[in-house]
Amino acid sequence: MTDDRPIHEVDPEFTALLTKDLQRQNSSIHLIASENFASQAVMQATGSVFTNKYAEGYPGRRYYEGCEFIDQMERLAQQRLLDLLGGVHANVQPHSGAQANMAVYFGLLEPGDKILGMRLDQGGHLTHGSHVNFSGKLYDFSSYGIDPETERIDMDALRAQAIEVRPKIVLAGYSSYPRHLDYEAFRSIADEVGALLMVDAAHFIGLVAGKAMPNPVDYADIVTFTTHKALRGARGGAIITNDEDLGLKIQKGLFPDAQGGSLYNQIAGKAVTFHEAAQPEFRVYAQQVIANAQAMADTFLARGVRLVTGGTDNHLVLVDLRSVNEDLTGKDAAKMLDSVGITLNFNAIPNDPRPPFRASGVRIGTPAMTTQGMREEEAVQTANLMTDALEAYGDEARLAEIEESVRALARRFPPYPEGFVGYPG
């Protein structure tokens, strides 16, 4: 028999930390662009008995017995994902977005092959060829950035670069670029140089699922993403391909090349995530995420704060802090904002004169605050409070006043007012 006592009886030391983080989540305004709050149902699935099973392999072809229901559950997750986003082949096993990207590279390329992706410090991602990451160490990445004037991806320059480099994969996608991607141009560039088009949609796939953004599955050969950002689900990754053969190669790139046994509790959570994202309410949510980002952007601009690209089309706003205080680094600003109840991360701005660990910007994302229940009115309030705090940097008395207002606002919008399933808080 398993121990069926509640967690606070079994492990009070752990439970004290859990309680503190629940309180932290319930008492702040959350603006980390890659975070969200999973539902009770998703957490029930991730905390379920599916955590107990080994099932290496894929449905119908396992290295362990006892996989009858795991197979059905994984197939359910795959089918729900294809129904939600389109495509031909779905893989729901990646532990993370990084593992999803690794599986694509492992499955389709040889070490040393060429990929063209967006530079990390211009808005890309670690796994898009950063020299500190396996991607940059194993593959021959060339990087594109944004035009210094427009701060947008210059598709003509990208085309010229692709013609020169002749990569096997053209990789689109970002972790801090606040604008739509021109999928038609990406597609035609990939076709022109005989490359596959891969889109890493981790940040925005939830907005695609909610029909608030164009769908990269309509254009790309391969789409990778995470399931816990704007998609608001269980933590993990997934891959969709538009070709069965590509899907099978990538499937092998994941298992056995990159991963062993998958996290079946997380795959269970993904199955529930895809179900939730298919509901009409999720469309309302996705629209609201973008409306909130635009309301925040407009407020910052009205207060004289410079934003990279001058605004946003998606869930992201990238603030150039130098327009508020020339001496304030991203790191110091993020720490101060967290102390007054606004949680976000510092971020390099394009061509940042500061090193990445100090940076000159902060990145704002609206998926989590929208799940908290905030709408445009609160987004405007939040942007004003944030600007007040940045302007008051160093003035502790004023910051204490601002914190009171932030906490009062946050208290009206706790993500888990009743605690969460199996643990009342």
Q: And the tokens for 29? A: 């305004």
Tell me the number of residues near ligand DSN by CB under 6 A.
5
DSSP annotation of 132: T
Determine which one of 35, 151, 200, 378 is catalytic: 200
Q: Given the DSSP bridges, would you call strands 29-30 and 342-343 parallel, antiparallel or unpaired?
A: parallel
**241 counts as catalytic:** no
Inter-residue contact 214 to 183 (CB < 8 Å):
yes
**Least separation, in Å, of the C-beta of 74 and ligand DSN?**
24
Give the CA count within 13 Å in the CB-facing half-sphere of 336: 23
Evaluate whether 59 touches 274 at the Cβ level (below 8 Å). Answer: no
What 3-state class would DSSP assign to 234? coil
**Of 119, 168, 179, 229, which residue is the catalytic one?**
229
Is 54 among the catalytic positions? yes
Least CB distance to ligand DSN at residue 416 (A): 22
> Residue 130 or residue 175: which is nearer to ligand DSN going by CB?
175
Point out the catalytic residue in the list 224, 226, 309, 370.
226
In 3D space, the residue among 307, 289, 264 whose CA is nearest the CA of residue 74 turns out to be 264
Number of H helices, E strands in the chain: 16, 15
- List the one residue out of 248, 222, 240, 237 whose CA is nearest residue 270: 237
Site for ligand DSN in 203-262 (CB under 6 A): none
Shortest distance, position 94 Cβ to ligand DSN, whole Å: 12
> For ligand DSN, what does the binding mask look like between residues 25 and 44, x meaning CB under 6 A?
---------x----------
- Please report how close the Cβ of residue 134 comes to ligand DSN at its closest, in angstroms: 14
Q: Give how far Cα 365 sits from Cα of 60, 205, 269, 298, 322, Å.
A: 40, 14, 23, 14, 20
Annotated catalytic residue 235:
yes
Q: Is 175 in the site for ligand DSN (CB under 6 A)?
A: yes
Which segments within 325-400 are labelled E, that is strand? 342-343, 345-347, 361-365
Q: Answer yes or no: 200 catalytic.
A: yes
Q: Would you count residue 97 as binding ligand DSN (CB under 6 A)?
A: yes
Point out the catalytic residue in the list 15, 54, 114, 322.
Answer: 54
Interface with ligand DSN, residue 314, by CB under 6 A:
no
**x/- binding map, residues 387-416, to ligand DSN, per CB under 6 A?**
------------------------------
C-alpha 183/C-alpha 201 separation (Å) is: 12
User: Is 224 known to be catalytic?
Assistant: no
User: Taking the complex as a whole, how short is the minimal distance between the CB of residue 237 and ligand DSN, in angstroms?
Assistant: 10
Which residues carry out catalysis? 54, 56, 200, 226, 229, 235
- Contacts with ligand DSN by CB under 6 A lie at 34, 97, 125, 175, 202
